[in-house]
Structure 1
Amino acid sequence: MSTAALRTAVIGAGWAGLAAAVRATQAGQAVTLYEAARTPGGRARRVLADDGTVLDNGQHILIGAYRATLALMREVGVSPEATLRRLPLALRFADGGGLEVPAGLRPPLDLLAGICAARGWTWADRYSLLRTSLQWRLRGFACAPTLSVAQLCAALTPRVMTELIEPLCVSALNVPPARASAQVFLRVLRDALFGEAGGADLLLPRVDLGALLPDAALDWLAARRAQQRLGHRVQSIARDGARWLVDSDPFDRVLLATPVWESARLVQQAALPEAADWLARAQAIDHEAIATVYVKGAPPLPQGRPMLALRSDAQRAPAQFVFDRAQLDGPAGLAAFVVSASTLPREELQARVLAQAKVQLNWTDLQPLQTIVEKRATFACTPGLQRPAMDIAPGLRACGDCCEGPYPATLEGAVLSGEAAARP
């Protein structure tokens, strides 16, 4: 059967599903896109606060190494230059400590310069990171799949762990170093810090997450006559000879771009003998929460930065980062505190974040706007994790950041997976 004759159902309009739908449409396939919610974007979407303020369901950061995501944005008509603020990688704290990678140098010279200039670091701190990172590079950024980030970084000093490794690990993998996969962490470091020039640059959204990709992707698909069924939760998929039925509608192929638990529900209902291993891996995936505490009345961040790292511990000071949304073209006084691997109840979490802001930023009289907790924001990227593969059965594929791949739960991982699944 020719590609042009294929009828393709894409179930899920998150970033993986949108990438799959765009690529399948470009290949000449007749695409129908299903989405249970009425707002596209999945776990990176626009939300409205009770007072009508436009927010996101979580504060996302892109980096310069996200080549697939940036290319997809351009193809559907979104300018990364207009919608993202590019800054050199900086893990600065309110007290001035931390590391910043200077702009204009090629890797690894930029990292070397950042290490040498790190504020508050002793020469022992700098030497431990230089020696360890050189060893990682000589080993090709490879390690045993059962190794944790804490084990990988055992030779680093406590300051380097606290001010560099822990913030990077939690922000990239959403898991503390003691439980995070060293293998995946090294892949992120290789591509971001030791890859192309500007790969480690932070790309901070200046628009809401809906405007960053999903809105434009839906418009792009509509202009090419792809069918869209928002607010439609697919109840079942079933094999019908060489075809697939999606709620009784026939298709030549089906791409599951829903959260892994939802994909597992549909696969289990389909009763596919060849999908037993895929289903077992999908059902074994654990998840981590991410909370975002939005406040009003926040002063500008010190040092004139749109983002600062915070000194964090799981109980007393739970937030790892704060974002000045006013410096990212948002309303004046709006700030977002990000708590990765969140476990505290919502009210307690909010109270502790406000106390943390008072101690570390000297911010008082903040007005809580909204606290958003995504209970299953990311999969737990732990050592030895066996993620489900893309192929489930002939004509049936899964995609999304939790599927087998080199990256943790990131927008780039989702886009790459969606594009791969769309290929015939």
Structure 2
Amino acid sequence: MAGPLTTAPQRVAVVGAGWAGLAAAVELVDAGHAVTLIDMAAQPGGRARSTPSTTLPQQDNGQHILIGAYRDTLAMMRRVGVDPDAVLLRTRLSLRDPQGRGLALGGGPATVAFALGVLRWQDCPWPDRLALLRLALGWRLGGFRCEPDQSVQEFAQGCPPSVYQALLEPLCVAALNTPAPQASAQVMLTVLRDALFGGPGSADLLLPRAPLDALFPRPALAWLMQRGVAWHPRRPVRQLRPAPGAGWQVDDLPPVDQVVLACSATEAARLVHPLAPHWSRQALAIRYQPIATAWIDAPPARWTAPMLRLSDGPAQFAFDLSALGGPPGCFTLVASGAADLAAQGAAAAGQALLAHWQRCFGPDARLRSVRIEKRATFACTPGLARPAARVAPSLWAAGDYVEGPYPATLEGAVRTGRQVALAVAASGAGQVLGMKSPST
């Protein structure tokens, strides 16, 4: 990881206190810049935060998963004083179902762990296991590249159905939150490269055993405020305009030299439309996929892992929250790429997820609550043209949706936040109080 750059101190406004905005702010403060942090919400965290709940002491806005390959995220957590080992449960990747069927990896070097995991996949026929190893070798020899317009389903032609249904399809919807027939094969290959074939532990699951707020948002905000960052919660930005002479004016706040828009793509597009209409149109063209999460009360159970893969229903994964520090007998079901389910509304979606639970685990269960995030992530489709991080001179965008190789994940958000902050610092030399009006 590159260290922070040191340039002439600048005044930077970061609009949005999600994981990308917080990462950008931390990087900028470490480089010696004066940061103003603004968010329309009362708390940091963006789309990955904890919220008040009438049914649980504190409820995250969905079940989030990290993996060992999230190196920037884990490093950023440590920078603000969070010990990942204390707030995340690290387990080996397991895609087994309630009957114990499916792939599970052991420890050691990633490639060796993957090969041994495939060879030990007992419920997968031997010809299919060998076919998967040949496929994986082909991915590696091909540099984990494919045609940019290929979907995961098209790319997987020739893959044994048992491998596709128990490995590629669940990994695709978990990582890209997009059904395989519409998902980008190139982005999927990038995920496979960095997770299954990265360094030791890259494929490990890191499951939160503390509220999302405690993983990064709250500690990051405290770290920033201790270093003099001006925090403006509950403050929607109404207008962004060039300041007289130089810099930017964000509403009626003092002028700044540079601005990082770490808000949603829709909000960023609104703010920059008069200044960069092409960028605005590209951001507004992004489409989204929902995620539905149901919290289930059921008799405590002894699972082989805290997360189980599901099939034959709307949810792809189930989680035992008691194994993650939650109350006994509390579970979640997660349905990603859930456009059809979300279209039914929350009540019907909750009943569909409860019925799926009962088919898999038995009838003694009740629905505690359900949450549908209608715009949980962008739809990660083949050839998607994502807007660039540089919107105009001294005006930047940070978020998991900006141009890059990764899907909409916490790691994607943190990486873009860091990279934009480093670009801000690098571009600041000679631009402080000397910025021209942005081009259109």
Shorter-chain TM-score category?
Answer: over 0.9
Aligned equivalent of 1:218: 221
| Residue of 193, 197, 218 corresponding to 1:190 | 193
Paired AA for residue 260 in structure 1: A
- Distance (Å, rounded) in 2 between the aligned partners of 1:4 and 1:290: 43
**CA positional deviation for 1:388:** 0.3
Q: Is the alpha carbon distance of 1:298 and 1:244 closer, same or farther for their aligned partners in structure 2, counting shifts above 3 Å?
A: farther
Secondary structure at 2:391 match in 1: strand
Secondary structure at 2:21 match in 1: helix
Residues 388-403 of structure 1 correspond to what in structure 2 (within 5 A)? 388-403=387-402
Secondary structure at 1:360 match in 2: helix
- 1:266 equivalent to 2:271? Answer yes
Q: Note the alpha carbon deviations across 1:46-68, whole angstroms, 9 max, x for none.
A: 01222352111011111111110
Contact 2:55 2:369 in 1 (8 A): no
Q: Note the alpha carbon deviations across 1:287-312, whole angstroms, 9 max, x for none.
A: 00011111223422532x21101014
| Residue of 151, 158, 171 corresponding to 2:154 | 151
- 1:321 equivalent to 2:322? Answer no
- 1:335 equivalent to 2:331? Answer yes
- Distance (Å, rounded) in 2 between the aligned partners of 1:36 and 1:153: 42
Aligned equivalent of 2:421: 422
Aligned equivalent of 1:365: 364
Aligned equivalent of 1:136: 139
- 1:253 equivalent to 2:258? Answer yes
- Distance (Å, rounded) in 1 between the aligned partners of 2:337 and 2:133: 29
Aligned equivalent of 2:436: none
- 1:119 equivalent to 2:115? Answer no
Contact 1:132 1:155 in 2 (8 A): no
- 1:235 equivalent to 2:238? Answer yes
**CA positional deviation for 1:210:** 0.3
- Distance (Å, rounded) in 2 between the aligned partners of 1:84 and 1:5: 36
- Distance (Å, rounded) in 2 between the aligned partners of 1:199 and 1:52: 32
Q: Note the alpha carbon deviations across 1:50-94, whole angstroms, 9 max, x for none.
A: 235211101111111111000000010000011111111100100
**CA positional deviation for 1:360:** 1.1
Aligned equivalent of 2:356: 356
Residues 282-301 of structure 1 correspond to what in structure 2 (within 5 A)? 282-301=283-302
Residues 50-69 of structure 1 correspond to what in structure 2 (within 5 A)? 50-69=54-73
Contact 1:301 1:307 in 2 (8 A): no
Aligned equivalent of 2:381: 382
- 1:202 equivalent to 2:205? Answer yes
Contact 1:49 1:370 in 2 (8 A): no
**CA positional deviation for 1:39:** 2.0
Paired AA for residue 63 in structure 1: I
Paired AA for residue 266 in structure 2: W
Paired AA for residue 268 in structure 2: S
Paired AA for residue 154 in structure 1: Q
Contact 1:301 1:324 in 2 (8 A): no
| Residue of 49, 60, 75 corresponding to 2:79 | 75
Q: Percent identity?
A: 49
Give 5+ residue unaligned stretches, structure 2.
1-5, 426-440
Secondary structure at 1:5 match in 2: coil
- Distance (Å, rounded) in 2 between the aligned partners of 1:119 and 1:17: 45
TM norm structure 2: 0.92
- 1:37 equivalent to 2:37? Answer no
* Greater Cα offset, 396-405 or 123-132: 123-132
Aligned equivalent of 1:171: 174
Aligned equivalent of 1:95: 99
Give 5+ residue unaligned stretches, structure 1.
none
Q: Is the alpha carbon distance of 1:308 and 1:4 closer, same or farther for their aligned partners in structure 2, counting shifts above 3 Å?
A: same
Secondary structure at 2:289 match in 1: strand
Contact 1:298 1:335 in 2 (8 A): no
Secondary structure at 2:95 match in 1: strand
Q: Note the alpha carbon deviations across 1:214-244, whole angstroms, 9 max, x for none.
A: 0100110011010101111111111124210
Secondary structure at 2:369 match in 1: strand
Secondary structure at 1:16 match in 2: helix
**CA positional deviation for 1:4:** 4.4
Secondary structure at 2:32 match in 1: coil
- Distance (Å, rounded) in 2 between the aligned partners of 1:259 and 1:13: 11
Q: Is the alpha carbon distance of 1:113 and 1:374 closer, same or farther for their aligned partners in structure 2, counting shifts above 3 Å?
A: same
Paired AA for residue 279 in structure 1: S
**CA positional deviation for 1:128:** 1.8
- 1:28 equivalent to 2:32? Answer yes
**CA positional deviation for 1:277:** 2.5
- 1:244 equivalent to 2:248? Answer yes
